[in-house]
Amino acid sequence: MDIPISHLHHLPMYKIFLLALISRLMSILGKCKASNNSIVPYEFMSLDIVSKLRADHDALKEASSDFGNLIQNPPAAVLYPSSINDIIELVKFSHNCSTPFTIAAKGRGHSARGQAMAQNGVVIEMSSLNNNNDNNRIKVSWDPSIGFYADVGGEQLWIDVLKKTVEQGVAPVSWTDYLYLTVGGTLSNAGISGQTFRYGPQIFNVYEMDVITGKGELMTCSHHVNSELFFGVLGGLGQFGIITRARIALREAPTRVKWMRMIYDDFSAFTKDQEHLISMENGMDYVEGSLILHQQGSANNWRSSFFTPLDQSRIASLSSKFGILYSLEVVKYYDDAKVHTIDMEIEVLLEGMKFVAGLKFKREVSYIDFLNRVRSGELELQSKGEWEVPHPWLNLFVPKSSIMDFNAGVFLDIIHRQNKPSGPILVYPTSRKMFDERMSAVIPEGEEEIFYCVGLLHSSSDEDLDSQNNEILEYCNKFGLKIKQYLPHYKTKQEWKDHFGPNWKTFQERKALFDPKMILSPGQMIFTPNSYS
């Protein structure tokens, strides 16, 4: 029912204020129409949820930007939920409006192009779920059929999942390079790193999820229960539902890490050695390559400081000669039982590799320190005021058959020629067999088993970096390199159709089934009207 104006004098002042806030929200949205004698169509929303909506300057400012620092899209309001029911009620409220407003679930806001924003809609600050839960949103259990697993809230950070699980001697099997991301956020994309070839992306290691659909329905889904929703949500860019719980696969946690880097001056040898390493059945646990550009001035970067000043001097001398060098980073996990044999095992694995003689470097660190290695670089940049800058990142999947052309046209030509200071540039192979084609995540089409993950992780206020990204995409298109964007960003319907290719029809059907009024995740610009310009 609606609350008539004549009844307002019976309400406490704070409730009148809350009703005024939601009325203002509806006015800003211009969507839901109240009747002439009412303040708000209260039948769809409780006073409890109204009290958790904010439209003040600080809340709107925080929700209108992201890690990319490239786009500003203020919402009409921000919801700070204290329970899953708060989110359900918000989504139901929108779904039941004659013209619904959009909703975006925001975790850490680590997107680069406004993907977690909802311009003139409502942003859900998922971290607010932590405020009243006393860390009970990460629970480790064991089942005889699947072994150890963790039930984890979608708002939880992977670093907290790591800390909680290793207390019991177990840990998730797949990681991103940066751990201060939410579980729901990475599962909505894929969750990749140099471990993907061995353990699959993070979406490959999920048993079950609880998801709030665009209809406001809370559904449990898995491979066999509500499977269409399960496969749709994994890699689905937030289009079909909001992940509130994920059941993550765990295994026994290693304690130690042998961490090595080798320097190459030849891209062909660099890629062949990477492909050889990921083909080994019991080989390395992590394989990730990157570029060392002479103009960067240091072989180290904010993602990890590995080389001593003397090492850097030797590498700089070589990079001045070649312009670009290639760094291969490999890791082997082990525990106390292998302390006396691990070095010999690694030497066997690296036998015959073609890195530059004398430029192999080794470190030994704890398992947690390796997985959380990027954090120290982030804190250092924050202390210098160099973290809150634009990040026009471009992430691509490049087929193996195109990687040599990509090196020639992008690394050696566009990037080296333009000589712009930027950030880390990653290039490493992974395997098609580790991706389930039923999931929404997009990888290069065709039968080619190996494709490369390329990350151009720019951190700069130089606006020309976006033009450089466009030049790279144009080069790939012109020469038919058949790339796919990871963490994609497009502005037109045709671009999204091309991105999904033969899976576009399935993606549309899932949207119609689980979010028919196109409420969720408008910042992706897949089903919003302005994406069809």
Contact between 183 and 205 (Cβ < 8 Å): no
Catalytic residue among 86, 160, 177, 285: 177
Distance (Å, rounded) from C-alpha 215 to C-alpha 515?
Answer: 6
Q: Is 160 a known active-site residue?
A: no
Q: Is 177 a known active-site residue?
A: yes
Catalytic residue among 208, 273, 288, 515: 288
Which tokens sit at 481? Answer: 């390199």
Contact between 281 and 433 (Cβ < 8 Å): no
Chain position carrying tokens 């070839």: 197
Distance (Å, rounded) from C-alpha 302 to C-alpha 367?
Answer: 19
Strands (E), 294-449: 324-334, 360-366, 394-399, 425-431
Q: Whose CA is closest to 43, among 78, 85, 3?
A: 3
CA atoms within 13 A on the CB side of 60: 12
Catalytic residue among 95, 110, 458, 489: 110
- CA 178, 361, 349, 289 torsion: positive or negative? positive
Strands (E), 154-203: 170-172
Contact between 79 and 125 (Cβ < 8 Å): yes
Contact between 53 and 78 (Cβ < 8 Å): yes
Pairing of strands 103-106, 53-54: unpaired
Distance (Å, rounded) from C-alpha 431 to C-alpha 442?
Answer: 13
Contact between 310 and 216 (Cβ < 8 Å): no
Active site residues: 110, 177, 288
